[in-house]
Amino acid sequence: MAMADATDQIGTETDKRGRLVTSDGTPLRRALERANRRRKISAFLLVSPLLAFILIFFAFPIAQMMWRSVDNPQIVNALPRTLDALQDWDRTGLPDERVFAALHADMLEDLDRERRDQKIGPLGIRLNYELSAARSAISRTARDVPNFEAPFRDAFVDAHRLWGQPDLWRIIQREGRPLTLSYYVAALDREYDEFGNVVRRDENRRIYVSLFGRTLALSVAITAMTFLLGFPIAYYLSILPMRRANLLMIAVLLPFWTSLLVRTSAWIVLLQQQGVINNTLVALGVIGDDGRFSLIYNQTGTIIAMTHILLPFMVLPLYSVMRTIPPSYMRAAKSLGATPWTAFRRVYFPQTLPGIGAGGVLVFIISIGYYITPALVGGQSGRMISNEIARHIQQSLNWGLAAALGSMLLVGVLVLYWLYNRLVGTDSLKFG
Amino acid sequence: MSMPAYFTLKDKIWYYAFRVICFAIFFFLLAPILIMIPLSFNAQPFFTFTREMLTLNPEGYSLRWYQDFLGSSSWRRSIQNSFIIGIAATVVSTTLGTLAALGLSRSEMPYKGLIMGILISPMIVPLIISAAGMFFFFSSINIAQTYLGVVLAHAALGTPFVVITVTATLVGFDQSLTRAAANLGASPTRSFFKITMPLILPGVISGALFAFITSFDEIVVVLFVAGVEQRTIPREMWSGIREDISPTILAVATILVMISIALLTVVELLRRRGERLRGLSPQ
């Protein structure tokens, strides 16, 4: 009892087995666990509204879009009987009458469906991605189908010559599955040959691989330019006294805060054939009136404008790293006999590498997915992969291909971001 | 930074050359933005300085592009839209983002890294991909081409900035203050509004400003998700640049530069105040 009295005074008790308990008799360990769990739950409850919001309105839409790159329901939905009959086709010559009869039945059934449930329209769009003219062939045939009489094979081939081409039937058989890789095949400038092997496209129809290559090359060029311009001013800012550095920092922060479209239109104004730069050069007599530079609507325009837009993203991380490098290291190196160049190369530069890595990856990630500036100042040669994705969504309406290109871009960016995170950690992301 | 006395001639040349290079780069950063301000007062429909402008002849200058801007109903609607959408998106993202930051900065938070990764993903995913995904999803639930759709999209894009700025403010936050408040009998809500909120307010406001400017400046998602009714200022500028480029763009740009200068000043003042309050700054 004397024991219990003593522990009472410091606010704890023990039960019969000698375990510490709280005043209401629950073992201390369990009480602690419960309190901990409650705190965990309350922390999670604070985060959950935003987490749910981002998952529903951001992550889910992107996942859904990526799904489109493999989703392939059109042919399976529209032509179930035809696909069944096609199973024992040997892929040479035309399929037999049985297949055409099944096609007739499938198309007839579709005419009975309500307009918004019709499957033949989507089928035409889907087949058109693989074989241009397929859409018009199908819509023209669909109108005549009720009047067809056996033999159906001749009726179909008479209605549109495309039905007499084994190519079309090979596509229907190959793509008659709920999932497809054909959008990725197309996104890599490849196609299926008549034996179903993946081969490279004809030279003049290869677009996307070189576009990916150009996007990477432009991003590397922009990253290199921001580094070349960003390094000196970040260094200069870091050796200035705080007050003057903050003042000059405005030169970096003002562009950072200025609307993207304002900066892009500024470059249009400056770089045009009749713009400020060309006019000044003509007025100074550097170039003749007919020798004006074409600085815009090409790769030069994209590189200049994007270097200007992304430069702050290089300067800010570099500056924050350079501020922490003690100037005494350079002095020590010099007093030990290093030339300024050696001291810079062997002592100062290696210490700025984290900043260079952070800024470089940041600029590279942003520029690889950039859309607006290339679209406005890039012309034809300055286009990047994002512009092609937008074109397929808004104009050519090939959403599967857009999704395949987008998924490839997204995976690339996420890998880079993972590298960035390994390099510097997300905590170092700060603004302003 | 004056020049030390022991500098050799080579050092001196390098000293000046380096500064000249640096100021050239600062010029490259600022000049394109500042040059639009005088050009926006051009009396002629050109994007270059006319002879009258260079000789400072008053006839070379006019306010016609500003009149054009304020007189056009589509520009006026775009101003209204930008503010409505920007403010609504900011309210949503600041509320959700601040709550989440409070949870994330607790040491008991489970799966912190994973959740943080998801929450800041709108900042990392290329805008074209976010815009495409939202375009398909919002069309399927019938909120594409509505104010609600654009606001939700912009709120999602703005939250990472709120989460990051508020979490950064909370790093220097002394948790014993809320424990003391609880000890003195304050309810969690009361201690939040009386103790936590005033201390993290600078972080919350600068996060909100970031969220606002994100929405105010955003164009890619607007291109995909908004209809004609929801056109914002950047969206009108986009059409202006693509279709008939006129110096009205420069008048709009000048006004937007003024707004950015104002916002930049506010954020800088808040940052200094925050550092002073949390005792991080030596000043």
ipTM for the predicted complex: 0.88
Average pLDDT over residues B39-62: 82
For residue A375, what are the contacts with CB-CB under 8 A and spacing of at least 6? A383, A387, A390
At A228 the pLDDT is: 96
The answer to whether the Cβ–Cβ distance between A389 and B132 falls below 8 Å is yes
How far is the C-alpha of B255 from the C-alpha of B266, rounded, in Å? Answer: 17
Going from N- to C-terminal start, the domains of chain B cover 9-60, 73-245
Average pLDDT over residues B107-124: 88
Indicate the SS3 state at residue B26: helix
Q: B156 in contact with A at a CB cutoff of 8 Å? A: yes
**Contact check, Cβ <8 Å, A432/B268:** yes
Residue A71, strand partner residues: A179
**Token couple for A299:** 């790769």
Q: For residues A261 and B96, what is the distance between their CA atoms, to the nearest angstrom?
A: 29
Mean pLDDT of B163-177: 85
Quick one: pLDDT band at residue A4, thresholds 50, 70, 90? very low
Q: What is the pLDDT of residue A21?
A: 80
* Contact residues for B214 (Cβ-Cβ < 8 A; gap 6+): B154, B157, B158, B161
pLDDT band at A121 (very low <50, low <70, confident <90, very high): confident
Confidence of residue A374 (pLDDT cuts 50, 70, 90): very high
Suggest the residue from B3, B21, B26, B124 to mutate for an interface test with chain A (most A CBs closer than 10 A).
B124
CATH number for region B73-245: 1.10.3720.10
φ/ψ of residue B280, rounded to 5: -90, -20
Q: Is the pLDDT of residue A432 over 70?
A: no
pLDDT in tens, A31-87: 889 888 888 898 899 999 999 999 999 999 999 999 999 999 999 999 999 999 988
User: Is the CB of B255 inside 8 Å of chain A's CB atoms?
Assistant: no
Query: pLDDT, tens digit, for every residue of A301-330?
Result: 999 999 999 999 999 989 988 988 888 898
Across the range B232-241, mean pLDDT stands at: 92
**Contact yes or no for B97 and A58 at CB 8 A:** no
> Residue B279: which pLDDT band, with cuts at 50, 70 and 90?
low
Are the Cβ atoms of B161 and A236 closer than 8 angstroms? Answer: no
For A389-424, write each residue's pLDDT tens digit: 999 999 988 999 999 999 999 999 999 888 877 776
- Cα separation values, B270 from A242, A251, A277, A402, Å: 18, 19, 38, 43
Considering CB atoms only, which of A47, A403, A431 is closest to B104? A47
Tell me if A73 sits within 8 A of A63, measured CB to CB.
Answer: no
